[in-house]
Amino acid sequence: DTGSAAAVPIDDVDIAYVTPVTIGTPPQTLQLDFDTGSSDLWVFSSHTPASQVRGQEIYSPNKSSTAKLLEGHTWSITYGDGSASRGNVYVDNFTVGGLSVAQQAVQTAQQVSSSFTSETNIDGLLGLGFSTLNTVSPKSQLTFFDNAKASLDSPVFTVDLKAQAAGTYDFGFIDKAKYTGEITYVPVNTNPGYWTFTSSGYAVGSGSFSSQSITGIADTGTSLVYLPTAIVTAYYRQVSGATNSRNYGGYVFPCSSALPTFTFGVGDARFTIPSSYISYSPIAPGSSTCFGGLQSSSGLGINIWGDVALKAAFVVFNGANPPTIGWAKK
Ligand SMILES: COc1ccc(CN)cc1O
Protein backbone atom coordinates (compact mmCIF):
# COMPACT_ATOMS: atom_id res chain seq x y z
CA ASP A 1 0.00 0.00 0.00
CA THR A 2 0.88 3.65 -0.34
CA GLY A 3 -0.78 6.97 0.47
CA SER A 4 -0.28 10.58 -0.50
CA ALA A 5 -1.94 13.68 0.91
CA ALA A 6 -1.47 17.44 0.73
CA ALA A 7 0.24 19.53 3.42
CA VAL A 8 -1.44 22.94 3.23
CA PRO A 9 -0.16 26.03 5.09
CA ILE A 10 -2.87 27.36 7.43
CA ASP A 11 -1.82 31.03 7.18
CA ASP A 12 0.43 33.49 5.30
CA VAL A 13 3.55 32.73 7.38
CA ASP A 14 3.38 28.89 7.30
CA ILE A 15 2.86 28.73 11.07
CA ALA A 16 1.54 25.19 10.59
CA TYR A 17 0.33 22.82 7.86
CA VAL A 18 -2.84 20.70 7.76
CA THR A 19 -3.63 17.50 5.89
CA PRO A 20 -7.12 16.10 5.18
CA VAL A 21 -8.01 12.77 6.80
CA THR A 22 -11.27 10.78 6.93
CA ILE A 23 -12.53 9.02 10.05
CA GLY A 24 -15.39 6.53 10.46
CA THR A 25 -18.42 5.34 8.51
CA PRO A 26 -19.71 7.33 6.71
CA PRO A 27 -16.36 9.19 6.44
CA GLN A 28 -15.95 12.40 8.43
CA THR A 29 -13.23 14.69 6.99
CA LEU A 30 -10.97 16.68 9.32
CA GLN A 31 -7.82 18.75 8.67
CA LEU A 32 -5.02 17.58 10.98
CA ASP A 33 -1.57 18.96 11.78
CA PHE A 34 0.83 16.08 11.08
CA ASP A 35 3.44 16.29 13.83
CA THR A 36 6.67 14.26 13.79
CA GLY A 37 7.37 15.77 17.25
CA SER A 38 4.56 13.92 19.05
CA SER A 39 2.72 10.58 18.90
CA ASP A 40 -0.91 11.21 19.82
CA LEU A 41 -3.66 11.32 17.19
CA TRP A 42 -6.25 13.62 18.72
CA VAL A 43 -9.23 15.48 17.26
CA PHE A 44 -11.75 18.11 18.13
CA SER A 45 -14.89 16.08 18.76
CA SER A 46 -18.50 15.96 19.90
CA HIS A 47 -16.95 15.66 23.38
CA THR A 48 -15.20 19.05 23.11
CA PRO A 49 -17.11 21.78 24.99
CA ALA A 50 -18.75 24.19 22.53
CA SER A 51 -17.02 27.07 24.32
CA GLN A 52 -13.66 25.64 23.22
CA VAL A 53 -14.63 25.09 19.56
CA ARG A 54 -14.26 28.04 17.18
CA GLY A 55 -15.15 26.72 13.75
CA GLN A 56 -13.00 23.59 13.82
CA GLU A 57 -14.43 20.45 12.17
CA ILE A 58 -15.29 17.83 14.80
CA TYR A 59 -15.35 14.02 14.85
CA SER A 60 -18.59 12.57 16.23
CA PRO A 61 -18.04 8.89 17.07
CA ASN A 62 -21.76 8.41 17.69
CA LYS A 63 -22.32 9.19 13.98
CA SER A 64 -19.88 6.48 12.91
CA SER A 65 -21.15 2.90 12.66
CA THR A 66 -17.56 1.60 12.96
CA ALA A 67 -16.53 3.62 16.06
CA LYS A 68 -15.84 1.74 19.27
CA LEU A 69 -15.10 3.35 22.64
CA LEU A 70 -11.79 2.18 24.14
CA GLU A 71 -13.28 1.61 27.61
CA GLY A 72 -11.47 3.25 30.51
CA HIS A 73 -8.74 4.80 28.38
CA THR A 74 -7.79 8.48 28.66
CA TRP A 75 -5.06 10.74 27.37
CA SER A 76 -3.49 14.06 28.27
CA ILE A 77 -0.72 15.89 26.45
CA THR A 78 1.21 19.14 26.87
CA TYR A 79 3.35 20.48 24.01
CA GLY A 80 6.57 22.43 24.08
CA ASP A 81 4.71 25.72 23.52
CA GLY A 82 2.58 25.11 26.62
CA SER A 83 -0.56 24.18 24.70
CA ALA A 84 -2.42 21.10 25.91
CA SER A 85 -5.39 18.82 25.37
CA ARG A 86 -6.91 15.72 26.96
CA GLY A 87 -9.86 13.33 26.61
CA ASN A 88 -11.01 9.78 25.88
CA VAL A 89 -10.31 7.29 23.11
CA TYR A 90 -12.18 5.50 20.30
CA VAL A 91 -10.95 3.18 17.59
CA ASP A 92 -12.33 3.67 14.10
CA ASN A 93 -11.53 3.42 10.38
CA PHE A 94 -8.96 6.05 9.43
CA THR A 95 -7.74 7.04 5.96
CA VAL A 96 -5.00 9.40 4.78
CA GLY A 97 -4.60 9.96 1.06
CA GLY A 98 -5.97 6.55 0.07
CA LEU A 99 -4.12 4.63 2.81
CA SER A 100 -6.51 3.07 5.36
CA VAL A 101 -6.07 1.66 8.85
CA ALA A 102 -9.06 -0.26 10.20
CA GLN A 103 -8.79 0.17 13.96
CA GLN A 104 -6.86 3.40 14.48
CA ALA A 105 -6.93 4.87 18.00
CA VAL A 106 -8.57 8.28 17.65
CA GLN A 107 -8.21 10.40 20.77
CA THR A 108 -11.26 12.62 21.22
CA ALA A 109 -10.69 15.92 23.01
CA GLN A 110 -12.76 16.70 26.09
CA GLN A 111 -10.58 19.70 26.82
CA VAL A 112 -8.26 21.83 24.65
CA SER A 113 -6.17 24.84 25.71
CA SER A 114 -6.88 28.33 24.37
CA SER A 115 -4.18 28.25 21.69
CA PHE A 116 -5.87 25.25 20.07
CA THR A 117 -9.28 26.92 20.29
CA SER A 118 -7.86 30.00 18.56
CA GLU A 119 -6.09 27.91 15.91
CA THR A 120 -9.35 27.66 13.96
CA ASN A 121 -7.82 25.91 10.92
CA ILE A 122 -6.48 22.93 12.90
CA ASP A 123 -9.00 20.17 13.78
CA GLY A 124 -6.44 18.11 15.69
CA LEU A 125 -3.00 16.55 15.47
CA LEU A 126 -1.70 13.34 13.92
CA GLY A 127 1.49 12.25 15.67
CA LEU A 128 4.25 10.77 13.53
CA GLY A 129 6.79 10.42 16.34
CA PHE A 130 7.63 7.02 17.85
CA SER A 131 4.73 5.33 19.59
CA THR A 132 6.65 5.25 22.86
CA LEU A 133 5.60 8.90 23.28
CA ASN A 134 1.85 8.14 23.06
CA THR A 135 0.03 9.38 26.19
CA VAL A 136 -3.01 7.04 26.21
CA SER A 137 -3.42 5.23 29.54
CA PRO A 138 -3.60 2.49 30.75
CA LYS A 139 -2.54 1.03 27.36
CA SER A 140 -0.60 3.33 25.03
CA GLN A 141 -1.70 3.31 21.38
CA LEU A 142 0.12 3.10 18.05
CA THR A 143 0.50 5.97 15.61
CA PHE A 144 -1.14 5.88 12.20
CA PHE A 145 2.30 5.22 10.65
CA ASP A 146 3.05 2.32 13.02
CA ASN A 147 -0.39 0.81 12.31
CA ALA A 148 0.03 1.21 8.54
CA LYS A 149 3.72 0.26 8.35
CA ALA A 150 3.36 -3.48 7.76
CA SER A 151 1.07 -2.90 4.77
CA LEU A 152 3.26 -0.19 3.20
CA ASP A 153 5.34 -1.02 0.10
CA SER A 154 8.26 0.44 2.06
CA PRO A 155 8.22 1.38 5.80
CA VAL A 156 8.74 5.08 5.18
CA PHE A 157 6.93 8.39 5.01
CA THR A 158 8.30 11.48 3.29
CA VAL A 159 7.76 15.16 4.02
CA ASP A 160 7.79 17.84 1.32
CA LEU A 161 6.71 21.12 2.95
CA LYS A 162 6.62 24.30 0.84
CA ALA A 163 6.60 28.02 1.54
CA GLN A 164 3.08 29.36 0.98
CA ALA A 165 2.09 26.41 -1.19
CA ALA A 166 0.70 22.92 -0.78
CA GLY A 167 3.32 20.21 -0.26
CA THR A 168 2.80 16.51 0.45
CA TYR A 169 3.06 13.73 2.99
CA ASP A 170 3.72 10.43 1.15
CA PHE A 171 3.45 7.04 2.87
CA GLY A 172 5.12 3.86 1.66
CA PHE A 173 7.17 5.22 -1.21
CA ILE A 174 9.85 7.77 -2.14
CA ASP A 175 8.80 9.95 -5.08
CA LYS A 176 11.88 10.70 -7.20
CA ALA A 177 10.07 13.64 -8.79
CA LYS A 178 10.07 15.45 -5.44
CA TYR A 179 13.83 15.83 -4.99
CA THR A 180 17.08 16.35 -6.86
CA GLY A 181 20.48 14.68 -6.41
CA GLU A 182 21.03 12.08 -3.70
CA ILE A 183 19.31 11.49 -0.38
CA THR A 184 21.77 11.64 2.54
CA TYR A 185 20.72 9.25 5.29
CA VAL A 186 21.93 9.60 8.88
CA PRO A 187 21.18 7.57 12.03
CA VAL A 188 18.19 8.34 14.26
CA ASN A 189 18.20 8.09 18.04
CA THR A 190 14.68 7.01 19.01
CA ASN A 191 15.11 8.08 22.65
CA PRO A 192 12.85 9.44 24.01
CA GLY A 193 10.68 9.05 20.91
CA TYR A 194 11.51 11.91 18.55
CA TRP A 195 13.21 11.69 15.13
CA THR A 196 16.51 12.79 16.65
CA PHE A 197 19.53 13.10 14.34
CA THR A 198 22.87 14.92 14.33
CA SER A 199 23.58 17.70 11.86
CA SER A 200 27.22 18.12 10.79
CA GLY A 201 27.44 21.90 11.19
CA TYR A 202 26.33 25.26 9.84
CA ALA A 203 27.24 28.41 7.95
CA VAL A 204 25.83 31.94 8.09
CA GLY A 205 25.32 33.44 4.64
CA SER A 206 28.44 33.11 2.50
CA GLY A 207 30.61 32.57 5.60
CA SER A 208 32.75 29.51 6.23
CA PHE A 209 31.09 26.25 7.23
CA SER A 210 31.62 25.42 10.90
CA SER A 211 31.87 21.62 11.30
CA GLN A 212 30.23 20.70 14.58
CA SER A 213 27.65 18.16 15.76
CA ILE A 214 24.21 19.65 16.32
CA THR A 215 21.84 17.04 17.72
CA GLY A 216 18.18 17.91 17.31
CA ILE A 217 14.76 16.68 16.26
CA ALA A 218 13.06 16.92 12.87
CA ASP A 219 9.69 18.34 13.90
CA THR A 220 6.94 19.10 11.36
CA GLY A 221 4.74 20.33 14.23
CA THR A 222 7.07 23.20 15.17
CA SER A 223 7.09 26.33 12.98
CA LEU A 224 10.61 27.62 13.56
CA VAL A 225 14.21 26.42 13.93
CA TYR A 226 15.64 26.43 17.47
CA LEU A 227 19.44 26.02 17.75
CA PRO A 228 22.18 26.63 20.35
CA THR A 229 22.58 30.27 21.38
CA ALA A 230 26.15 30.52 20.04
CA ILE A 231 24.94 29.66 16.52
CA VAL A 232 21.93 31.98 16.70
CA THR A 233 23.94 34.96 17.98
CA ALA A 234 26.49 34.37 15.20
CA TYR A 235 23.61 34.57 12.72
CA TYR A 236 21.94 37.72 14.04
CA ARG A 237 25.32 39.48 14.38
CA GLN A 238 25.00 39.77 10.59
CA VAL A 239 21.56 41.43 10.77
CA SER A 240 21.54 45.19 11.35
CA GLY A 241 19.22 46.22 14.17
CA ALA A 242 18.65 42.67 15.41
CA THR A 243 18.05 42.25 19.13
CA ASN A 244 17.07 39.37 21.36
CA SER A 245 13.83 40.79 22.73
CA ARG A 246 12.48 39.56 26.07
CA ASN A 247 9.30 41.42 25.20
CA TYR A 248 8.69 39.46 22.00
CA GLY A 249 10.33 36.29 23.28
CA GLY A 250 13.15 36.02 20.78
CA TYR A 251 15.27 37.66 18.08
CA VAL A 252 13.55 40.50 16.23
CA PHE A 253 14.92 42.89 13.63
CA PRO A 254 13.76 45.68 11.31
CA CYS A 255 11.78 43.99 8.51
CA SER A 256 13.83 46.11 6.08
CA SER A 257 17.14 44.57 7.25
CA ALA A 258 19.00 42.31 4.84
CA LEU A 259 19.10 38.74 6.17
CA PRO A 260 21.79 36.19 5.34
CA THR A 261 20.81 32.65 4.41
CA PHE A 262 21.44 29.85 6.93
CA THR A 263 23.09 26.60 5.79
CA PHE A 264 23.08 23.37 7.81
CA GLY A 265 24.90 20.13 7.16
CA VAL A 266 23.61 16.56 7.06
CA GLY A 267 26.68 14.37 6.61
CA ASP A 268 28.51 15.78 3.58
CA ALA A 269 25.33 17.40 2.23
CA ARG A 270 24.51 21.07 2.73
CA PHE A 271 21.02 22.62 2.92
CA THR A 272 20.48 26.35 2.64
CA ILE A 273 17.47 28.02 4.23
CA PRO A 274 16.58 31.09 2.14
CA SER A 275 16.54 34.48 3.90
CA SER A 276 12.84 34.79 3.16
CA TYR A 277 12.10 31.80 5.43
CA ILE A 278 14.02 33.44 8.29
CA SER A 279 12.26 36.77 7.92
CA TYR A 280 9.40 34.92 9.54
CA SER A 281 6.68 37.44 10.27
CA PRO A 282 5.99 40.98 11.52
CA ILE A 283 5.55 40.87 15.29
CA ALA A 284 2.04 42.29 14.67
CA PRO A 285 0.11 42.89 11.44
CA GLY A 286 1.68 45.80 9.56
CA SER A 287 4.58 46.22 12.04
CA SER A 288 8.02 47.06 10.65
CA THR A 289 9.60 44.82 13.30
CA CYS A 290 10.00 41.20 12.23
CA PHE A 291 10.37 38.01 14.29
CA GLY A 292 13.10 35.61 13.20
CA GLY A 293 12.51 32.09 11.91
CA LEU A 294 15.77 31.05 13.64
CA GLN A 295 15.67 31.27 17.45
CA SER A 296 17.70 30.08 20.42
CA SER A 297 16.96 26.64 21.87
CA SER A 298 18.48 27.52 25.26
CA GLY A 299 15.11 27.50 27.04
CA LEU A 300 13.95 24.24 25.42
CA GLY A 301 16.66 21.74 26.34
CA ILE A 302 16.46 20.39 22.79
CA ASN A 303 17.36 21.66 19.31
CA ILE A 304 14.44 21.65 16.87
CA TRP A 305 14.55 21.60 13.06
CA GLY A 306 11.01 22.87 12.48
CA ASP A 307 9.11 23.85 9.35
CA VAL A 308 11.49 26.74 8.47
CA ALA A 309 14.23 24.13 7.91
CA LEU A 310 12.04 21.31 6.57
CA LYS A 311 10.70 23.64 3.85
CA ALA A 312 14.24 23.77 2.45
CA ALA A 313 14.47 20.01 1.85
CA PHE A 314 12.77 16.74 0.95
CA VAL A 315 12.93 14.52 4.05
CA VAL A 316 12.56 10.73 4.29
CA PHE A 317 11.48 9.37 7.68
CA ASN A 318 12.61 5.77 7.36
CA GLY A 319 10.78 3.53 9.83
CA ALA A 320 12.88 0.44 9.11
CA ASN A 321 14.85 -1.21 11.90
CA PRO A 322 16.96 0.73 12.77
CA PRO A 323 15.21 3.91 11.71
CA THR A 324 17.15 6.56 9.76
CA ILE A 325 16.33 9.99 8.36
CA GLY A 326 17.23 11.12 4.84
CA TRP A 327 17.63 14.67 3.53
CA ALA A 328 17.64 15.72 -0.13
CA LYS A 329 17.60 19.01 -2.03
CA LYS A 330 14.52 19.84 -4.10
C1 LIG B 1 -1.34 25.43 19.29
O2 LIG B 1 -0.99 24.75 18.11
C3 LIG B 1 -0.07 23.73 18.24
C4 LIG B 1 0.57 23.41 19.43
C5 LIG B 1 1.47 22.35 19.45
C6 LIG B 1 1.73 21.61 18.31
C7 LIG B 1 2.68 20.46 18.34
N8 LIG B 1 4.06 20.91 18.19
C9 LIG B 1 1.10 21.93 17.14
C10 LIG B 1 0.21 22.97 17.10
O11 LIG B 1 -0.44 23.30 15.97
pLDDT of 108-152, one tens digit each?
A: 999 999 999 999 999 999 999 999 999 999 999 999 999 999 999
Rounded mean pLDDT of 169-178? Answer: 99
Rounded mean pLDDT of 314-321? Answer: 99
Q: Which pLDDT band, with edges at 50, 70 and 90, does 36 fall under?
A: very high
Q: Which pLDDT band, with edges at 50, 70 and 90, does 291 fall under?
A: very high
**Confidence (pTM):** 0.99
Rounded mean pLDDT of 175-182? Answer: 98
d(CA 15, ligand 1 centre) in Å: 9
Overall residue count recorded for the chain in this entry? 330
Nearest CA to ligand 1 atom 10: 221
Catalogue the active-site residues. Answer: 35, 219
Rounded mean pLDDT of 296-325? Answer: 98
Distance of CA 225 to the CA centre of its chain: 11
> Which class for 247: exposed (0-12), middle (13-18), buried (19 or more C-beta within 10 A)?
exposed
Q: Which pLDDT band, with edges at 50, 70 and 90, does 41 fall under?
A: very high
Q: What is the pLDDT of residue 165?
A: 98
Rounded mean pLDDT of 70-94? Answer: 98
> Which class for 35: exposed (0-12), middle (13-18), buried (19 or more C-beta within 10 A)?
buried
Rounded mean pLDDT of 18-30? Answer: 99
Query: To test the ligand 1 pocket, which listed residue (13, 15, 52, 79) has its Cβ within 8 A of the most ligand atoms?
Result: 79
Q: Atom of ligand 1 at shortest distance to CA of 222?
A: 8
d(CA 222, ligand 1 centre) in Å: 7
**pLDDT averaged over the chain?**
98
Q: What is the pLDDT of residue 243?
A: 98
The end-to-end CA distance of the chain, in Å, is: 25
In this prediction, what percent of the chain has a pLDDT beyond 90?
100
Are the beta carbons of 37 and 222 closer than 8 angstroms?
Answer: yes
Q: Atom of ligand 1 at shortest distance to CA of 79?
A: 5
Q: What is the pLDDT of residues 241-259, one digit of tens each?
A: 999 999 999 999 999 999 9
Q: What is the pLDDT of residue 24?
A: 99
Q: What is the pLDDT of residue 171?
A: 99
Q: Which pLDDT band, with edges at 50, 70 and 90, does 176 fall under?
A: very high
Rounded mean pLDDT of 27-52? Answer: 99
Please state, in angstroms and rounded to a whole number, the distance separating the CA atoms of residues 210 and 200.
Answer: 9
Q: Strands (DSSP E) along 38-176, which ranges? A: 41-43, 68-78, 84-96, 99-112, 124-127, 156-162, 165-171
Q: What is the pLDDT of residue 93?
A: 98
Q: What is the pLDDT of residue 178?
A: 99
Q: What is the pLDDT of residue 237?
A: 98
Nearest CA to ligand 1 atom 4: 83
Nearest CA to ligand 1 atom 2: 116
Rounded mean pLDDT of 249-276? Answer: 98
Nearest CA to ligand 1 atom 8: 221
Q: Atom of ligand 1 at shortest distance to CA of 80?
A: 8
d(CA 77, ligand 1 centre) in Å: 11
Residues with Cβ within 6 A of ligand 1? Answer: 16, 33, 35, 37-38, 79, 81, 83, 115-116, 119, 122, 125, 221-222
Q: What is the pLDDT of residue 304?
A: 98
d(CA 9, ligand 1 centre) in Å: 13
d(CA 149, ligand 1 centre) in Å: 25
Which strands, in side-by-side order, build the sheet including 279-282? 243-245, 250-254, 289-292, 279-282
Q: What is the pLDDT of residue 60?
A: 99
Distance of CA 66 to the CA centre of its chain: 29
